Amino acid sequence: MTDPAVLVVRPALSDAAMAELFAAAWGGSGDTRWAPILARSLTWLAAYREGRLVGFVNVVGDGGRHAFVLDTTVHPDEQRGGLGTRLVRAAAGQARAADVEWLHVDYEAHLTGFYTRCGFRPTAAGLLNLR
């Protein structure tokens, strides 16, 4: 059995490593600059296997009772093995430790099962596209 990926809280992340992960998982160029995003985050977690970034999740907060899970991403070679669930549950633990009361996540309908396994329950919400 393969050893589980190692989860690291708030590691330094290069734009190149993040671009590689996001391109593999989502396609596209992955030209996001992560330092300004992470500077505003409550916390983030990364997953590594043999030194390679294979997973990521970001948690942003309002400075009070609410925080949001963003950018949950797992490399395709690692999907369907529980890594995403581990990342989201660890992020929830970090948010709890920061005294967050409500952890929110938005997702597409086909991800309902995944987020239910992570402990979330569906709620009605609104979304406004500003672009």
Give me the CATH number covering residue 37. 3.40.630.30
With H, G, I as helix, E, B as strand and everything else as coil, classify residue 59: strand
Q: What is the pLDDT of residue 30?
A: 66
Q: What is the DSSP letter of 51?
A: T
Query: Does residue 129 belong to any structural domain of this protein?
Result: no
User: Which domain covers residue 36, as residue numbers?
Assistant: 6-117
Q: What is the pLDDT of residue 1?
A: 44
Q: What is the torsional sign of CA 32, 36, 42, 47? A: positive
Q: How many other β-carbons are positioned within 10 Å of the β-carbon of residue 94?
A: 20
Query: Does residue 86 belong to any structural domain of this protein?
Result: yes
Query: Does residue 127 belong to any structural domain of this protein?
Result: no
Is this prediction's pTM over 0.85? yes
In this prediction, the residues of the chain whose per-residue pLDDT falls under 70 are: 1, 29-30
